[in-house]
Amino acid sequence: MNKFDLLKQKQQEALLGGGVKRIETQHKKGKLTARERIQLLLDEGSFEEVGLFVTHRSKDFGMEQELYLGDGVVTGYGKINNRLVYIFSQDFTVLGGSLSETHAEKICKILDMALQNGAPVIGLNDSGGARIQEGVASLGGYADIFHRNVQSSGVIPQLSAIMGPCAGGAVYSPAITDFISMVEHTSYMFVTGPSVVKTVTHENISSEELGGAAVHASKSGVTHFTHSNEVECLNHLKRLLSYIPQNCEEDAPVYPYEAADETRAKLNSIIPENPNQPYDMKELIEELVDADSFLEVHQHYAENIIVGFARIGGRSIGIVANQPASMAGVLDINASKKAARFVRFCDAFNVPLLVLVDVPGFLPGTDQEWNGIITNGAKLLYALSEATVPKITVITRKAYGGAYDVMNSKHIGADLNYAWPTAEIAVMGAKGAAEIIFKNEIAAADDKDAKWKEKELEYTEKFANPYGAAARGFIDEIIVPEVTRVKLIKAFKMLENKVAVRPKRKHGNIPM
């Protein structure tokens, strides 16, 4: 055969992965193939493949007969919105996308190139885990990947999409990466599957219930995003990248933006008259940021805090906001973990932070104390305090107790702190405060309720406002809500060349 024709023939064979029948099976499950996913994700014609002809070296269990060009993973580089990305996409049609030693080597090659060239890496995971026929060679391959994920952490963005099974050690590479997306009903993640669970704990549970997208979005918080189908998932990855720089030395892309009338009168009426009545912080966020730019992260997990990306005046920002519409916006273990992780991503990748505060404090109770609200609450405090990106705070209503300190107070390094006239900056709510400090007076009064109310009012008048904090410079300016967007656009622009020097050290020791 002509040598050129031989090459063509081999290329065509490789493109078929595990063969036409297995591709059909993949489609019947409602899943795309590894190559179809890459085509949808990358700019048209931009994909360049690396390692098309790699095959495994295993000779055990008749594996020398089971050779597939590419060995179950498609690797290479290409562009998304004209920006360079590296990609690996596991091919379930080849031995269930299982990870052999050579399959791992291909992924490692891509991770190394991504790190050396400072561009994001995207993993599309669809794999039965370690290739069982290869034993420890496969386990070693996983560890080689994990190690590279860790070396790249905070240097280049790493995104994982789970588009099929992801079992055993396979879950730990995505877990180390920055963001995980899962597809509903066709993807799942667990360290041990339902059959092992049944043997060990006698629980009868389906894959979906044990590690489906909904479970990881709401209960475990393992996944940051869920999508109803693969196309939606791939489109989401493109959008997510638009908020993120190529690496830790660069800034996120700035989008065209023309200044217009930036006053937002609607903001003046968002805070209810009754300070204990909830409102939806997301409505407030939508008014503050550029139209349709808010991309929520971890939407269904710890809903009492909101985190996500947005743009303001065309510039990418990360938002952390208490959500009064869920558990009154209280800080608990999960909220703190969720927000701390997000803050650290933003800080590592030069995305400025906007913190919106309406928080009644930390959640009391044995459940929280015994599960470590002290250590976990400290995560958010640590993360915000450590962050050197521009940091701006707006207190809309309550900023009580330790949560005032934690939520990007001036004291932990915020650059600019604004408060609305509705802000209440105090050690605690007036009712509780009156009960403690005027205990004897209330007890001695003929009409105890009336006395309590009187003292509550006294405390409210003194502390349930932003003026005491502003007098000390803890608040830089008290502003009417409608001008908040104008102020933020100007302030983030003013802070864009911020340089913060950190003490020399190997790394800090965030409470884990």
If one asks whether residue 128 binds ligand HXC (CB under 6 A), the answer comes out as: yes
* Closest separation in Å from C-beta 37 to ligand HXC: 17
How many residues touch ligand HXC under the rule CB under 6 A: the total is 15
* Closest separation in Å from C-beta 166 to ligand HXC: 9
**Residue 287: partners with Cβ closer than 8 Å, 6 or more residues away:** 264, 266, 267, 270, 485
Q: Which span sits near ligand HXC by CB under 6 A: 49-57, 160-168, 280-288, 436-444?
A: 160-168
Q: Which of 51/96 has CB closer to ligand HXC?
A: 96
Q: Which of 26/350 has CB closer to ligand HXC?
A: 26
Residue of 73, 110, 167, 339 that binds ligand HXC (CB under 6 A): 167
* Closest separation in Å from C-beta 165 to ligand HXC: 4
CA 120 vs. chain centroid, Å, equals 15
**Catalytic annotation, pick one of 154, 169, 221, 432:** 169
If one asks whether residue 165 binds ligand HXC (CB under 6 A), the answer comes out as: yes
Residue number closest to ligand HXC, CB atom: 169
Q: Which of 129/401 has CB closer to ligand HXC?
A: 129
Residue of 76, 96, 157, 308 that binds ligand HXC (CB under 6 A): 96
Comparing CA positions, the residue from 87, 100, 51, 111 lying closest to residue 163 is 87
Q: Which of 207/263 has CB closer to ligand HXC?
A: 207
If one asks whether residue 130 binds ligand HXC (CB under 6 A), the answer comes out as: yes
Category of 364 on φ-ψ map: left (φ > 0), alpha (ψ -120 to 50) or beta: beta
**Residue 468: partners with Cβ closer than 8 Å, 6 or more residues away:** 425, 462
Cα–Cα distance, 150 to 474 (Å, whole number): 38
If one asks whether residue 142 binds ligand HXC (CB under 6 A), the answer comes out as: yes
Q: Which of 142/452 has CB closer to ligand HXC?
A: 142
Active site residue 403: yes
Cα–Cα distance, 78 to 85 (Å, whole number): 6
- Looking up tokens 């597809």 gives 183
* Closest separation in Å from C-beta 201 to ligand HXC: 17
If one asks whether residue 190 binds ligand HXC (CB under 6 A), the answer comes out as: no
If one asks whether residue 34 binds ligand HXC (CB under 6 A), the answer comes out as: no
If one asks whether residue 132 binds ligand HXC (CB under 6 A), the answer comes out as: yes
Q: Which span sits near ligand HXC by CB under 6 A: 128-136, 303-311, 315-323, 409-417?
A: 128-136
If one asks whether residue 170 binds ligand HXC (CB under 6 A), the answer comes out as: yes
**Residue 458: partners with Cβ closer than 8 Å, 6 or more residues away:** 434
* Closest separation in Å from C-beta 33 to ligand HXC: 14
* Closest separation in Å from C-beta 227 to ligand HXC: 20
Comparing CA positions, the residue from 443, 338, 435, 352 lying closest to residue 392 is 352
**Residue 293: partners with Cβ closer than 8 Å, 6 or more residues away:** 309, 310, 311, 312
HEC secondary structure over 47-106: CEECCCCCCCCCCHHHHHHCCCCCCCEEEEEEEECCEEEEEEEECCCCHHHCECHHHHHH
Q: Taking CB under 6 A as the criterion, which residues in 466-505 touch ligand HXC? A: none
Strands 353-359 and 391-400: parallel
* Concatenated DSSP letters of 381-424: HHHHHH--S-EEEEEEEEEEHHHHHHTT-GGGT-SEEEE-TT-E
**Per the structure block, which two tokens stand in for 455?**
């003292």
Cα–Cα distance, 315 to 103 (Å, whole number): 39
Q: Which of 139/378 has CB closer to ligand HXC?
A: 139
Residue of 98, 187, 247, 393 that binds ligand HXC (CB under 6 A): 98
Q: Which of 58/408 has CB closer to ligand HXC?
A: 58
Q: Which span sits near ligand HXC by CB under 6 A: 80-88, 93-101, 433-441, 488-496?
A: 93-101
* Closest separation in Å from C-beta 254 to ligand HXC: 41
If one asks whether residue 95 binds ligand HXC (CB under 6 A), the answer comes out as: yes
Active site residue 402: yes
* Closest separation in Å from C-beta 366 to ligand HXC: 36
* Concatenated DSSP letters of 164-196: EEEEGGGGHHHHHSSEEEEETTT-EEESS-HHH
**Catalytic annotation, pick one of 128, 141, 168, 329:** 168
Q: What is the CA radius of gyration of the chain?
A: 26
* Closest separation in Å from C-beta 101 to ligand HXC: 13
If one asks whether residue 73 binds ligand HXC (CB under 6 A), the answer comes out as: no
Cα–Cα distance, 372 to 354 (Å, whole number): 27
If one asks whether residue 309 binds ligand HXC (CB under 6 A), the answer comes out as: no
Q: Which of 169/413 has CB closer to ligand HXC?
A: 169
Q: Which of 93/322 has CB closer to ligand HXC?
A: 93
If one asks whether residue 139 binds ligand HXC (CB under 6 A), the answer comes out as: yes
Cα–Cα distance, 135 to 451 (Å, whole number): 75
Active site residue 308: no
**Catalytic annotation, pick one of 193, 402, 432, 468:** 402
Active site residue 473: no
**Residue 45: partners with Cβ closer than 8 Å, 6 or more residues away:** none
C-alpha distance across the termini of the chain, in Å: 61
Does residue 111 contact residue 129 with C-beta atoms inside 8 Å? Answer: no
**Catalytic annotation, pick one of 119, 252, 328, 403:** 403
Residues that bind ligand HXC (CB under 6 A): 95-96, 98, 128-132, 139, 142, 165, 167-170
Residues with a catalytic annotation lie at 168-169, 402-403
